[in-house]
Structure 1
C-alpha cells in the first residue's frame, strides 16, 4: 500500500478539486477563530457499504466505497503549548473542548461511560500516540506531544451508519502523526489502518478493519474490495461505464433515525459479534475440531524491516474465540489438506467460483448443524441449550462468551446471525463476479442484477440479522417504487442511512421527490430545505484520506 497522498490547495488534480473549496472555507474559519493560519489540513471521507453488511468483523470480504462527504481538521502546531484546543464548526451540537497533555508523555485517558463527541477525538489521539511511542521510543516515551489548535468541519451525517466516527478517528490519528513527525514523514496507508482499526474499542464499541481501510485507501470512481485474510488487502474495483449520459451512481438517503453504537451496543452491535462467535464454535464442535484461540493482548504489524506491536483490544474483545471465517478456513484445511488461508482474488474467475462453492458448503453445514424441526428455535436459543451444544457448563459458557463485552438479551439467535453472514459473504462474491466478469450484459440487465443482490442483502439484514428498522424499510420501499434498481441499509443499521442504486438524473429526482413528500415531510413536517438537502446525497466512489499542506 502507498502513503497517504499530500496535496496543495492550488493543485489542479481533478480528484481533489471537490475538496478544495472545503479547504479554503475551513482555513478562513480557522483564522477567524484562532487568529493564526493553519499549518495543514487532514481530510477523510465517509463511506457506504454497497454490499457485505456485518461480515467484516467475521473477516469475509466486503465491497464498500468512500463518498463525497468528508470531515476536515485544520491544524496549527503550538511548539510551546501543553494543551490541545478543539473547535467544532457545529458548535451547537459539539461543544468546544480543551484538554491538557501529560507533561511526562503518558497516554491520555478515556472514560467510555461518558458519551461525548470528544471521546472519538481522543481515540484517534490515543492510538496515534501509542504508535509514536512504539516506533520512536527514545523520542516519545517520556516527552509530551505537541500542543495544537484544531478546527473541525464536516458534512458527514453523524450516527447515520456512514462512518463519521471512523473518519474522525482516522483524521485525528493522521494529524497527530503529521504534527509530531513533520511534513517530511510519509504516513503509510497500511500503518494508518493498523493504528486505527481498533480505535473505537476504547469507548466500548466492537469494530473491524473495513471502515478505516476504505476511508484510507479508496480511489475515485472505484469500489474497494477488502480482504481480511490471510492479511488485510484492498483491491480497486472499477464499475463499468455503459454510456456517457447515464452512469452508475448511488443515492444515500438518511432515515434521520440515530443509532449510537456505544449506547445501543449491548443489544445490537456487540451482541451480534457474540452470537456469531458462539455459532462458529458450535459449528467447530459439531464437525469435530476446535477453533484456535487468537492472541488476546496484542497484534503484530511488520513493515520496512521493523516489528511493531500495539496493545490492542480488538483481538481480546472480538475474536479471542475465533469467528465464522476461522471455521470455514479450518474446515477446508482439514478436508482439502491445505493449511493455507484462502485468499480471494477478485480478478481471478477460478478464485471467485471456488469461493462460491465453499460458501455454499458452509450454508449446508450450518443448516445441518442447527436443525429447526417445527421451528422451535425461531426465537433463539437459551444459555443452557447453547452450553449443551458446546459441551460446557453454564458458568463456563457465560465466562467464555458473555463477559468480554457488555450484552443484554432474552435469547441468542446464533443460527439466524450466522446464516446471514454466510449468505451475505456469498452475495459479495457474486457481486464481484458480476462487476468484473459481466461480459456483454446491457446496462439495464447489469443494474437489475446488481440491484437484486442489494435487495437480497436488505432482506437478510432485516429478517436474519435484525439490524434494519421500520424507517429503513419504509425508505427502501419508496425508493424501489420510484425507480431504484437496488435499495438496502448501509452501515451497522438500526437507523442511519440507506443506499440506492441509480443511473439517470430523472430517476434520481423522482426518488428524491417521493422521499421528500412521502417520508421526510410525513415524519418531520418542520424539516428545513437545508436539512432535506443534507439528508439525500448522490455520490460516486470518491478519494480516501489525504493531507493538504498550506
Structure 2
C-alpha cells in the first residue's frame, strides 16, 4: 500500500481519452488565470479526485472491506512559491479559486508553527489550511522544529460536487496537502503518508473518517476499483475492471435530497453505528460466552468484525463461508425482528442498561426506542459477502472478454449492486423514496445495477451502465426525475456525472507555466 505519488508530464497520464479534450480546456483556463492573478507562471499542479463507493455500503465502520474507485471530477491546485512574506517570522499564503464569486480570494500571513482553523466557520480555505497543517506536521517531524514553510501562491479549481456524497472534502484536503509537500521541496511523496495526513487533517474541519475516502482519492488507478480493508490495519490494493462487451461505465446521479447529519444523525447515521455496536456486543455475549468483545478501531471501540474474529478465530472456513455462517446465526440469535428495547439490549449483552448507555450512547447524540439489531447486523454481513462476491467476479479472468458478449457477466455485477440497494432500503433503512425512484428509472433505461452511495437518506446514487446506454440513462433521469424539480443551472450541470475508474493523486510539473 505504498509507493510515491506519480509525477506526470501530460494530462493523458491522468485522464482517459474520453475526457482529455474537456480537461485540457479546463487546465489551460486554470493556468491562464493563475498567470493573470499572480503575474507569473505556476510551477506545478497537484490533483486528487473524488470517489464513489461501488459496493460496500455502511460496513467500513464495522471494519469490513469496501470497493470504491476514483472518478473524473477532481480538485486541481496550481502553485508557485515565487513570493516572500512581508512579515518576519511568518510565511504568506495567497489562496484564490477559479469560482471567485462563490469562493473569494484570501491572503494570509501565518506564523511559523501555527495553522489556526475555526471549524465553526464555513470558510472554503479551511480545507486547504487543514491539508497545510497536516503536511507541515509531517515535514516538521522529518526535518526538525527549525523547518520553515515556503510562501505559496495558489489557484484551485474543483469539479467534485460539494455535499453530494463523492468526497469533495477528501479530494480538497488530499490535493492541498500534496501541494504543500511538493512546494516545500519533497521530491517523492509517499502515498501512504499522504493518505494518513489527509485522514487526520480532515478532522480539523469536523470530518471524522475511517480512511476509505482518502485512500480512494490517493491510491486509485485508472481502470480499477480499490479494495480497501480496515482490519487489522488500513490497507488498499487495486482491482482492475475487466475488458467487457459492452464496455462498463458508471453514472453517478444526485438526488438533491440532503440529510443534515447534525440534525438527523441521532436517528439516522449515529443510530446505525450504535445499533451495529450493540449487535456485536449481543452476539458476542450469546455466542462467545466467557470472552470479552475485542477492542478495535470501530467508532465505539468495538465492531461486528471484532465479534466475527472472536467467534471464528480458529475457523478453517473461507471468508465467504464464515460470513454465510454468521448470517444464519444472526437470524436465530437476534431473533426479535420487531427490535429491542434498551432493557432488552442490555439483557442480550449480559450487562446493565447503565453500562449500555455508557458504552454506546455517550460518545455522540442518539435517539431510539427500539434498536433493530438483527436487521443492521444482517445488512453488514450480507454486504460484506457481496463485496467479496463482486471482487471474485472482477478477478475471475475466465469471464473477461473484449470480443465476446459479456452481458450475462455484466448483469451479475449489476445484480450485486441491486441487492445492496435492497438491503440499504429494507434492512439498514438508509435509502429514501427519491433514491429508490432514481434507481428504478436508471434500471428501466438500461442500467445493470443501481444503488445509493454515501451515507444515504438522500445524497447520491451510482449506476453500472453499458457505455452504449449512458445517454439513454441520463435522458431518462432528466425527463422523469430532474425535470420535476426546480433546479438551478449549476445544479443541473452537477446532477449527473459519467465516469470510468480513474487515477488517484498526481503532480504535474510545468515549464514556464505550461505543459512540458
Q: TM > 0.5 between the two?
A: yes
Residue 177 and residue 156 in structure 1: after superposition, are their counterparts in 2 closer, same or farther (change >3 A)?
same
Residue 98 and residue 412 in structure 1: after superposition, are their counterparts in 2 closer, same or farther (change >3 A)?
farther
Matching of residue 467 in structure 1 with residue 430 in structure 2: yes
Question: 1:499 & 1:478 partners in 2: Cα distance?
Answer: 12
The answer as to whether partners of 1:254 and 1:535 remain within 8 angstroms in 2 is yes
The answer as to whether partners of 2:69 and 2:220 remain within 8 angstroms in 1 is yes
Question: 1:265 & 1:120 partners in 2: Cα distance?
Answer: 23
What are the equivalent positions in structure 2 for 1:160-239 lying under 5 Å apart? 160-180=164-184, 182-184=185-187, 186-239=188-241
Question: Which of 355, 379, 400 is the aligned partner of 2:319?
Answer: 355
- 1:59 Cα deviation from its structure 2 partner: 2.0
Q: Does the residue aligned with 1:231 lie in a helix, a strand or coil? A: coil
- 1:166 Cα deviation from its structure 2 partner: 1.0
Residue 63 and residue 515 in structure 1: after superposition, are their counterparts in 2 closer, same or farther (change >3 A)?
same
The answer as to whether partners of 2:85 and 2:109 remain within 8 angstroms in 1 is no
- 1:40 Cα deviation from its structure 2 partner: 1.8
Match of 2:120 in 1: 113
Q: Does the residue aligned with 1:439 lie in a helix, a strand or coil? A: helix
* Segments of 4+ moved more than 6 angstroms: none
Matching of residue 518 in structure 1 with residue 480 in structure 2: yes
The answer as to whether partners of 1:159 and 1:259 remain within 8 angstroms in 2 is no
Question: Which of 45, 53, 56 is the aligned partner of 2:60?
Answer: 56
Question: Which of 443, 446, 464 is the aligned partner of 1:501?
Answer: 464
Instruction: Choose 75-84 or 210-219, whichever is displaced more.
Output: 75-84
The answer as to whether partners of 2:399 and 2:409 remain within 8 angstroms in 1 is no
Question: 1:271 & 1:203 partners in 2: Cα distance?
Answer: 22
Match of 1:304 in 2: none
Match of 1:414 in 2: 373
**Cα-to-partner distance string for 1:444-484 (whole Å, 9 max, x where unaligned):** 11111111111110111122222222221111111111111
What are the equivalent positions in structure 2 for 1:133-144 lying under 5 Å apart? 133-140=140-147, 143=148
- 1:425 Cα deviation from its structure 2 partner: 0.5
Match of 2:343 in 1: 384
Question: 1:476 & 1:514 partners in 2: Cα distance?
Answer: 11
Residue 440 and residue 167 in structure 1: after superposition, are their counterparts in 2 closer, same or farther (change >3 A)?
closer
Matching of residue 325 in structure 1 with residue 305 in structure 2: yes
**Cα-to-partner distance string for 1:92-128 (whole Å, 9 max, x where unaligned):** 433444444234x13x343443444443333323322
Residue 62 and residue 169 in structure 1: after superposition, are their counterparts in 2 closer, same or farther (change >3 A)?
same
**Cα-to-partner distance string for 1:336-368 (whole Å, 9 max, x where unaligned):** 3x9xxxxxxxxxxxxxx8111011122122223
- Unaligned runs of 5+ residues in structure 2 are 511-516
**Cα-to-partner distance string for 1:246-271 (whole Å, 9 max, x where unaligned):** 31111111222334556654443333
- The size of the alignment, in residue pairs, is 494
Question: 1:382 & 1:197 partners in 2: Cα distance?
Answer: 36
Q: Does the residue aligned with 1:197 lie in a helix, a strand or coil? A: helix
Question: 1:430 & 1:136 partners in 2: Cα distance?
Answer: 46
- 1:272 Cα deviation from its structure 2 partner: 2.5
The answer as to whether partners of 1:255 and 1:495 remain within 8 angstroms in 2 is yes
Matching of residue 80 in structure 1 with residue 85 in structure 2: yes
Match of 1:3 in 2: 4
Question: 2:95 & 2:258 partners in 1: Cα distance?
Answer: 24
**Cα-to-partner distance string for 1:180-205 (whole Å, 9 max, x where unaligned):** 3x142x11011112222243333443
- 1:435 Cα deviation from its structure 2 partner: 1.9
Q: Does the residue aligned with 1:110 lie in a helix, a strand or coil? A: coil
Match of 1:240 in 2: 242
- 1:52 Cα deviation from its structure 2 partner: 0.7
Question: 2:175 & 2:263 partners in 1: Cα distance?
Answer: 23
Matching of residue 449 in structure 1 with residue 396 in structure 2: no
Q: Does the residue aligned with 1:493 lie in a helix, a strand or coil? A: coil
Match of 2:514 in 1: none
Q: What's the RMSD between the two structures over aligned residues?
A: 2.6
Question: Which of 512, 524, 539 is the aligned partner of 2:499?
Answer: 539
Match of 2:513 in 1: none
**Cα-to-partner distance string for 1:289-321 (whole Å, 9 max, x where unaligned):** 212334xxxxxxxxxxxxxxxxxxxx5xx5452
Q: Does the residue aligned with 1:86 lie in a helix, a strand or coil? A: strand
Question: 1:50 & 1:452 partners in 2: Cα distance?
Answer: 12
Question: 2:156 & 2:239 partners in 1: Cα distance?
Answer: 31
The answer as to whether partners of 1:205 and 1:265 remain within 8 angstroms in 2 is no
**Cα-to-partner distance string for 1:379-421 (whole Å, 9 max, x where unaligned):** xx33333233333333332222222234444543333222211
